[in-house]
Amino acid sequence: MGKRIYLCLAHMGGKELAFIQEAFDTNWVVPLGPNVNGFEDDLKKFTGGDREVVALSSGTAAVHLALIACGVGPGDEVIVQSFTFCASSHPVTYLGAVPVFVDSEKDSWNMDPDLLEEAIRDRIAKTGRKPKAIIPVALYGMPYRIDEIMKIADSYGIPVIEDAAEGFGSRFDGKVLGTFGRFGVLSFNGNKMITTSGGGALICPDTASKTEIMFYATQAREAYPYYQHERIGYNYRMSNICAGIGRGQMFVLDEHIAHHKHICSLYKELLSGVEGIALHENPSGRYDSNYWLNTVVIDPELHVRGEEHAYETAVQGAVGGAAGVTHAASALHTDCEPNRNIEAMRMALDAAGIEARPLWKPMHRQPVYRNSPAYVNGVSEALFKTGLCLPSGPYVTDDDARYIVDTIRENIL
């Protein structure tokens, strides 16, 4: 057995080191400078040119600052797509606010607009107050129904924070995600469409809001010759070194997106005729997913080699690495986990040197959010129990995709 095939590894395009070298040569080794400005300009151009962009230390920081700019504070409620990675909802709790989770629709797997409206109405009826913001998420890169979500949000006067962390370069009706709502969140973590090793950005509607976000991202310093603080701020700006990586990555962004889409079309071709396995694809021509991670759903009735032994042994370490920092699991099972055939397929792929990962566990089923209100239709929980993410990144070759699908076929009983 040779190399291991990962979901999405960072891939350098070649120009990153030159930007970093320039930062060293000019001693811009700080969280501001030419690379930060240059990267923000690149991102502004990519997102259409009529929005402003602030480079930040992470996508999580971008969510946090967008919430602050929407006036979210203690006791407020924020509507968040339940089917997401925790970075969409954790910052709500940093502010002492409560996430209200909304389930997904079947075709996009993202926030169900009907359920969103029901949730808004019910929160107003129950609390007498409107939720302060709405966070739809482009899960695995797939666009959310942003036309319908914006219509509902506008009719109630609630700002939308688009979590496009996984959907950088995805489009709906031809328009780049992150540019529909008041704010748009991007992530440049090591496994995303492009990387700055770690980093993120917030797409802002105008210069005034960019200035406000930068104020909070730099410890909320007032304009005095000494440190004067009238608000609480954060240290969230992107380093000029990381921004150099980002500037270099902009040269391969289009190539990366094209590659992820190519891998999707390969999976589609290779999986056609494999019964019981369905690839997640753009539901219509209005959607243009970047296919950051290609995902499949496996029929609960499909039997997979070794499924009788699924969940017998504890997993070492946390999903996604987390730099080895994890709590040991207290049990082999939780009350909401992927089906045995999914775990068996994950283990079979793992044994063949292929990284696969269950779909993200919905936030409304996470113990830490057990007290958060949730508006649920069963879609995200069913997907979580039946789905797998497959390798999709720049290092996944055509031969790899064939090997992956061959391995999947071989393990179906």
Ligand X SMILES: *Cc1c(COP(=O)(O)O)cnc(C)c1O
Binding site for ligand X (CB under 6 A): 58-60, 84-85, 87-88, 137, 163, 165-166, 187, 189, 200
Nearer to ligand X, 58 or 339 (CB): 58
| Closest approach of ligand X to the CB of residue 8, in Å | 11
Nearer to ligand X, 87 or 297 (CB): 87
Nearer to ligand X, 137 or 149 (CB): 137
| Closest approach of ligand X to the CB of residue 59, in Å | 2
**CA dist., res. 253 & res. 167, Å (int):** 12
| Closest approach of ligand X to the CB of residue 237, in Å | 14
Nearer to ligand X, 57 or 240 (CB): 57
| Closest approach of ligand X to the CB of residue 344, in Å | 26
| Closest approach of ligand X to the CB of residue 304, in Å | 27
- Distances from the Cα of 346 to the Cαs of 302, 318, 320, in angstroms? 14, 15, 14
Residue 185 dihedral angles phi and psi, to the nearest 5°: -100, 130
Nearer to ligand X, 193 or 352 (CB): 193
| Closest approach of ligand X to the CB of residue 137, in Å | 5
**CA dist., res. 304 & res. 396, Å (int):** 24
Residues 6+ away with beta carbon under 8 Å from 190 = 10, 197, 198
Nearer to ligand X, 138 or 356 (CB): 138
Nearer to ligand X, 183 or 310 (CB): 183
| Closest approach of ligand X to the CB of residue 377, in Å | 20
In order, the DSSP letters of 331-381 are: -S--SS---HHHHHHHHHHHHTTB--EEPPPPGGGSGGGTTS-EE--SHHH
Q: Which H or E element spans position 211?
A: helix 207-217
Residues 6+ away with beta carbon under 8 Å from 342 = 298, 304, 358, 385, 386, 387, 388
Residues 6+ away with beta carbon under 8 Å from 269 = none
Q: Which structure tokens are listed for 403?
A: 């090997």
| Closest approach of ligand X to the CB of residue 309, in Å | 31
Nearer to ligand X, 237 or 340 (CB): 237
Query: Which residue's Cβ lies closest to ligand X?
Result: 59
Nearer to ligand X, 183 or 348 (CB): 183
- Distances from the Cα of 61 to the Cαs of 37, 143, 200, 387, in angstroms? 18, 22, 7, 29
Q: How far is CA 107 from the centre of its chain?
A: 18
Q: Which structure tokens are listed for 408?
A: 């999947």
Q: Which H or E element spans position 278?
A: strand 277-279
Nearer to ligand X, 189 or 209 (CB): 189
Q: Which structure tokens are listed for 389?
A: 């993410």
SS3 218: strand
| Closest approach of ligand X to the CB of residue 119, in Å | 19
| Closest approach of ligand X to the CB of residue 57, in Å | 8
Sign of CA dihedral 349, 351, 353, 358: positive
Residue 381 dihedral angles phi and psi, to the nearest 5°: -65, -40
98: DSSP letter:
E
